[in-house]
Every structure is written in C-alpha cells, then in structure tokens.
Structure 1
C-alpha cells in the first residue's frame, strides 16, 4: 500500500493466484481497477512504494521506476535475496534505498539526491533484516544469527550503535524505528518484541511530530498468558537507557558480550511470524502476527510493558 491511500501494489501468490507471481499490478482501489503493470522474467520477492518511486525486488536484482509513468530509472545487482530485503525511505525530501550488496553481509545504500553510493559491511553472516529510519539517515541491520542489531549512518557508512537482542540464535522477523522518538523495536521467532533506546548518534536526532502525515487519505479481552517482560530502567522516554551488564565497566578486558546494550522493555507474543511497529500514541508498540493476531502494548521508561489490546482477524480451525 502507498502509505494510507487507495493505491496498492499486488503480486500473485498462493495456490490459485489471480495474477502471475512475476508481475506487479498497480491497483487503484477507488476506481477498482489496475492502473499499471510491470512484468519480469522471474518471481517478484517484494515491492516498495513511495509517491515518486516503485521498487521491485527479484532474487538477484532490484528495479527502480518512476511512479508517474513507470519508467525505469535504475537497476541494481544483489546477492541472492530470497527474502526480498529492501528498504525505501518514505521522506519525499530524501530519496534513499538500502538493499543487499553483491557479497554476504553487505548492504548497498543509494543516496539518489546526492548521487552517492555507500557500501557497508554490516555482518559476517547473511542478512536477515534491513530498515531505514523515517528520514533515511540511519540504517538498522540484522544477520541470520539474530543476536545483534547494528545501526549505521547512511552517508558515511559508519556504525553508530550496536544492540543485543539475545545470546542465542533467532530469526528476526522485523525491525522498526520510531518516527517520533529515539527508539527501535524488533520481533523474532522467540516470541519476544524488544524495545531499545537509541543514542543521539544511533537515532540521527531527526523525528517527525506527526507520523501519519505521510498518507494522503485518512483511512476483546487480552490473553493473560501473553504477559509482558520487564527490564527496570530510569528516566523519561527520550532519556531511557538500555540494560547493560554489571561488568560493562571492564569492557576493555572482557569479551564484547559483556559490554552489550540490551533492550530496556520487552513484550511477549506467541511464537508466530510477526511484524512490529510503533503506534501513533506515545510509548506504544503494535504487533501483527501471521495467524491474524493484533497486539498493542504500552511501555514506560522504566521498562514496564503492559498489554492493552488484542484482536484476532483470522479464525483458524482451532478457534472454531
């Protein structure tokens, strides 16, 4: 969907797809018809939209088109990209695209307005997630190990902060920056959503006062066994600090693990594939699961996290 408006990009999938999986259909929901079509020789892995761009991700290539006339403006070679990893900055004043490079663990950043390309060696292992903040100044990455999330400056390519999700391997399903505060969240197959505090360097200190302005058309009870985790901290929202080991003062003598920054708040959900995002209300996080579940939680600077809303949009056989 193009922000919160009536334009959608549709790709066929499932057992009986309406459209071929190698085509992108641009659908106008007001007119109830296709207004554009892009065809490829291989399966489409992902599509990203903004007002002036359509980005299509294939297994080993990314195509960038003008939105107005679907004219090709760029194409990028990548390493094998079965997850369709790609991030497109939504800010109209900064055209930034991030995608896998041609070697394992690297990220390529296209700064189109500056006519500059930045290459970042983010991880030794394969990439599992990449995400840009709202204004495209910061990049968050995770590898298929799922233990660390690294934050980079998109112009210089320098790392600005490293966050630890956990000590054991995990598949990170999603990463998101808050559009209004120096915060970052991630969800994984461990069933825990982590909320981290970002430093001034990690956040880029650029926040929108209204995260809903990017769109052009406005558009039960909570299960008690999905309780929230806590990680007591102190300070207000913009002054929160991530948890650290009590031995972090010996960072020069002990392994890097002991100087890691851990999340200051956690929120438990079932171990299903999820995506997370910050809500429009202050200190809220929302989580949507592949099983049709929707969760909303509120957290404070002390790390206390509480479920406030739960809904189920898809009824499974077990629910009947």
Structure 2
C-alpha cells in the first residue's frame, strides 16, 4: 500500500522509475507493461486506472531507452514522476480489476471482478482522461 509505484531493473535491482499514483494510500490491484515497455498500466482500490510513460521525454528516434542511470537518492526521480503520468480512467472504487494493453495502439482493457469490461483509449501526448470506447457487463 502506498502512493508510489517503483519500477526496478530485473538484472541488478536498480531503480528505474518512481511514479506517483495519487496522494492517498492505495492497494494496487494490477500492473501491466505494454509489449514494447513504453507504458505501464496500474489499477488500484481507489477506483483509478493510470497509464504512465516509461521512456525518457527526449527519446524521439523510435528506439525506446529506459533511463538506467537514475540515482535513487537524486531529486530528479520526484521531478520525473510529476510529468510521466499520462492518462487516467475511473472505475468503481474498491472493486478489484485487472488491466492489459489492447491490440490497438494506445488502448487499455480493464476487466472487473463484477464482470465489467472497459476498452479505453489514451492520448500519449496530451494525457488526461482516457476515452471510453466500449463498456459491457458480462454478468448481468
């Protein structure tokens, strides 16, 4: 439980990113990486789903590089966490759900324990609220 999501490098355990999910402590229900490791999707018990960018802002060559030189004790981590949150979507608070990136570009799928299914689109440049493309409940 907490407000931060930390991403570590599997090879040596070094901290790659520290992302602020919100200001209130929350239980994380689900985490998912996009296939190209550019995005991280996070759902929590607060009824929010976030998409974070995991690439450096200056990368524009099409190759994705995660900044591996970040020092966990540096002030740059908290600065980075303020601009990498990309998009947000609201679901029912307290309802366990899982997230996965869709097969269409910039889409996220959210599946709730109550049978709810959402397909959303996020704007990778502007961020903000995700657009709901589809919603179904398969248990009703």
TM-score (ref. length: structure 2):
0.77
Q: Higher RCO, 1 or 2 (CA under 8 Å, sep at least 6)?
A: 2
Q: Is 1:267 matched up with 2:92? A: no
Q: Once the 2 structures are TM-superposed, how far is the Cα of residue 180 of structure 1 from its aligned partner? A: 3.2
Question: Any residues of structure 2 matched to 1:253-292 within 5 Å, and which?
Answer: 259=79, 261-262=81-82, 263-271=85-93, 272-292=95-115
Unaligned runs of at least 5 residues, structure 2: 65-74
Larger of the two Rg values belongs to structure: 1
- 2:23 pairs with 167, 175, 188, which one? 167
Residue 108 of structure 2: SS of its match in structure 1?
A: strand
TM-score (ref. length: structure 1):
0.35
Q: Is 1:311 matched up with 2:136? A: yes
Task: Note closer, same or farther for the CA distance 1:238–1:294 as it changes in structure 2 (3 Å cut).
Answer: farther
Task: Note closer, same or farther for the CA distance 1:265–1:238 as it changes in structure 2 (3 Å cut).
Answer: farther
Q: Once the 2 structures are TM-superposed, how far is the Cα of residue 199 of structure 1 from its aligned partner? A: 2.5
Which stretches of structure 1, 4 residues or more, deviate above 3 A after TM superposition? none
Q: What is the total number of aligned residue pairs between the two structures?
A: 121
Unaligned runs of at least 5 residues, structure 1: 1-143, 201-234, 240-250, 316-320
- Equivalence for 2:13: 157
The CA RMSD measured in Å over matched residues stands at 2.4
Distance 1:264 1:310 in 2: 21
Distance 1:238 1:299 in 2: 21
Q: Once the 2 structures are TM-superposed, how far is the Cα of residue 181 of structure 1 from its aligned partner? A: 4.9
* 8 Å contact kept, 1:178–1:278: yes
Q: Is 1:295 matched up with 2:115? A: no
Distance 2:8 2:24 in 1: 23
Task: Note closer, same or farther for the CA distance 1:286–1:238 as it changes in structure 2 (3 Å cut).
Answer: farther
